[in-house]
């Protein structure tokens, strides 16, 4: 931008006629004078919503979509079948564990099955004998109670083996073939992505030791710390946009607790469309939207002029510029949202405002 001396500004003010200028007065200026002062203008845009300054945020996996896969029984970790970053399907094999405890559970289950066959036979025999009047009813009740007890033990064994990772087909095969296996296969509980591998092959594990952390990455959360004084500008359902990559989400939670480290409040947004372009744990910058009603316009930061405790812009007209007061409604990263008596398509000065302000003030003296 061209720099003008004070004398040049005075000469320019004299050229304007030296009459006092009010807020609504037009500052006459020809195209040649505009070029000499290095002025550039930019159009105002209607602002249906404003965007906040950029806030830091972290990408997180929703808690309902996270699973820690653990070994159900103690044993030796024989092999891990997937690695960090791999996509997995529900029921897919993740790890193989050699478990003596599994052998013990299978043996107890098979014993309970054998006892169930015998108890069922005794119960059916005594029922027939009772119908023929050969035995007392008390004996029949005792036999029936024993059958129910053994059947409960079998059902308990089935549930225990299912919790250990055996599905119904494996249980059926065990009952038919009566062959024990000490190899335990751990399977994925959901469709997702392996976020972390925790265990190492060859490691001895106790029951419930973690193997993997798996998450479903659609949708994702953005956890944003917003200064307490800016919290009133945010509402549930407000739009949140990520500058890079270009992704948008919606606010789903506005926290109540103020964090001591930065005096910020946690605001959580959910991202559906474009979530695949984000990565859990990633730090990004986001902007939050707030709705605006009435005549609000977005203008460049460089267009603002401070004078007399007010904020002004210079609006271009055919024969000069009009000094117009504005009220700032929101500050964005590279622009401000104002309310003013502007019209869509108006041009405001964004370069050369200092020289124009000086000429404006000199002409008002």
Q: Minimal CA–CA distance to 69: which of 163, 196, 210, 165?
A: 210
Output the CA torsion sign for 177, 179, 185, 190: positive
A 10 A CB-CB count for 32 gives 8
Domain ranges of the chain: 6-48+294-364, 55-61+217-291
Q: State the pLDDT at residue 294.
A: 57
**Helix axes of 168-177 and 100-131: crossing angle, nearest 10 degrees:** 70
The alpha-carbon radius of gyration of the chain (Å, integer) is 38
pLDDT of residue 202: 94
Q: How far is CA 39 from CA 9, 29, 210, 335, 357, in A?
A: 14, 11, 66, 19, 12
Strand blocks (E) in 259-319? 264-271, 283-291, 296-300, 305-307, 310-317
Q: How far is CA 240 from CA 156, 247, 263, in A?
A: 51, 8, 21
Domain 55-61+217-291 has CATH 2.40.30.170: yes
As a whole number of Å, the end-to-end CA separation of the chain is 25
Are 280 and 193 in contact by the 8 Å Cβ rule? The answer is: no
Q: What are phi and psi of 235, to 5 degrees?
A: -130, 160
The per-residue pLDDT string of the chain (365 residues; one tens digit each, 9 = 90 and over) reads: 334 444 444 444 444 444 444 444 678 878 888 888 778 888 888 877 677 778 899 999 999 999 999 999 999 999 999 999 999 999 999 999 999 999 999 999 999 999 999 999 999 999 999 988 888 999 999 999 999 999 999 999 999 999 888 888 889 999 999 999 999 999 999 999 999 999 999 999 999 999 999 999 999 999 998 888 888 778 899 899 998 888 999 999 999 898 877 788 999 999 999 999 999 999 999 988 876 555 788 888 888 888 888 888 889 888 888 888 888 877 777 788 887 888 888 888 888 888 788 777 765 55
**Are residues 323 and 21 in contact, defined by beta-carbon separation less than 8 angstroms?**
yes
- Nearest 5 degrees, angle CA 40-CA 46-CA 48? 145
Parallel/antiparallel/unpaired status of strands 347-351 and 40-43: antiparallel
pLDDT at res. 321: 86
Q: What is the pLDDT of residue 365?
A: 57
Q: What angle do CA 173, 170, 163 make, to 5 degrees?
A: 140
CB neighbour list of residue 84: distance below 8 Å, 6 or more residues apart = 194, 195, 196, 197
Quick one: CATH architecture of 6-48+294-364? Beta Barrel (2.40)
- For residue 363, the model assigns a pLDDT of 58
Decide: pTM greater than 0.75: no
pLDDT at residue number 339: 79
């Amino acid at each position: 931008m061209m720099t003008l001396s004070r004398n040049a500004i005075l000469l320019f003010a004299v050229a304007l006629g030296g009459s006092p200028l009010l807020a609504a007065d037009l500052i006459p200026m020809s195209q040649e004078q505009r070029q000499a002062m290095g002025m550039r203008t930019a159009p105002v845009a209607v602002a249906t919503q404003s965007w906040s300054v950029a806030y830091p945020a972290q990408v997180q996996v929703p808690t309902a979509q996270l699973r820690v896969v653990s070994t159900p029984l103690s044993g030796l970790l024989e092999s891990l079948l997937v690695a960090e970053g791999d996509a997995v399907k529900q029921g897919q094999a993740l790890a193989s564990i050699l478990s003596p405890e599994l052998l013990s559970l299978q043996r107890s289950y098979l014993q309970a099955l054998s006892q169930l066959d015998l108890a069922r036979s005794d119960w059916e025999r005594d029922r027939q004998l009772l119908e023929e009047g050969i035995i007392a009813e008390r004996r029949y009740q005792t036999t029936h109670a024993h059958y129910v007890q053994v059947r409960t033990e079998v059902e308990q064994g089935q549930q225990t083996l299912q919790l250990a990772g055996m599905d119904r087909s494996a249980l059926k095969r065990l009952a038919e073939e009566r062959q024990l296996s000490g190899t335990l296969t751990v399977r994925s509980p959901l469709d997702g992505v392996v976020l972390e591998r925790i265990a190492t092959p060859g490691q001895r594990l106790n029951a419930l030791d973690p193997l993997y952390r798996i998450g479903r990455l659609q949708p994702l959360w953005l956890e944003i710390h917003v200064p307490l004084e800016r919290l009133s500008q945010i509402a549930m359902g407000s739009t949140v946009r990520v500058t890079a990559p270009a992704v948008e989400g919606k606010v789903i939670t506005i926290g109540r607790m103020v964090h001591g480290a930065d005096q910020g409040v946690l605001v959580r947004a959910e991202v559906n469309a474009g979530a695949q372009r984000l990565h859990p744990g990633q730090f990004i910058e986001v902007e939050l939207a707030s709705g605006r009603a009435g005549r609000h316009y977005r203008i460049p930061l460089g267009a603002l002029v401070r004078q007399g405790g007010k904020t002004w812009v210079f609006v271009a007209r055919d024969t000069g510029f009009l000094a117009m007061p504005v009220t700032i409604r929101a500050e964005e990263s590279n622009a401000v949202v104002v309310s003013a008596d502007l019209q869509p398509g108006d041009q405001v000065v964004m370069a050369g405002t200092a020289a124009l302000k000086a000429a404006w003030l000199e002409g008002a003296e």
